[in-house]
């Protein structure tokens, strides 16, 4: 059962993961549009993940890690 409201640390971790996604995407030389095309998601979804307004699920994290050629652990550590 989800907590409502979520603890502050959850929001902080979402922002950290979003920043790691953004950094990995930029390091791979991809725009949000290009990354979205690679993993079958809209560029607006990539933006939402990077700015922590939405959270990617595990399948999306696996696709992201593969698309930017980083271990999954790098995105979520």
Model confidence over 9-61: pLDDT tens digits?
989 999 999 999 999 999 999 999 999 999 999 999 999 999 999 999 999 99
Instruction: Give the end-to-end CA distance of the chain in Å, rounded to a whole number.
Output: 24
| pLDDT at residue number 3 | 65
- What structural domains and CATH numbers belong to the chain? 8-76 (1.10.260.40)
Rounded Cα distance, 30 and 39, in Å = 12
| pLDDT greater than 60 at residue 4 | yes
- Please give the model's pTM, rounded to 2 decimal places: 0.89
Confidence of residue 2 (pLDDT cuts 50, 70, 90): low
């Amino acid at each position: 059962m989800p907590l409502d409201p979520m603890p502050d640390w959850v929001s902080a971790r979402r922002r950290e993961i979003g920043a790691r996604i953004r950094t990995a995407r930029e390091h791979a030389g991809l725009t949000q549009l290009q990354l979205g095309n690679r993993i079958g998601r809209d560029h607006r979804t990539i933006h939402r993940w990077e700015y922590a307004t939405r959270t990617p699920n595990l399948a999306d994290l696996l696709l992201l890690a593969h698309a930017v050629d980083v271990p999954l652990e790098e995105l979520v550590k």
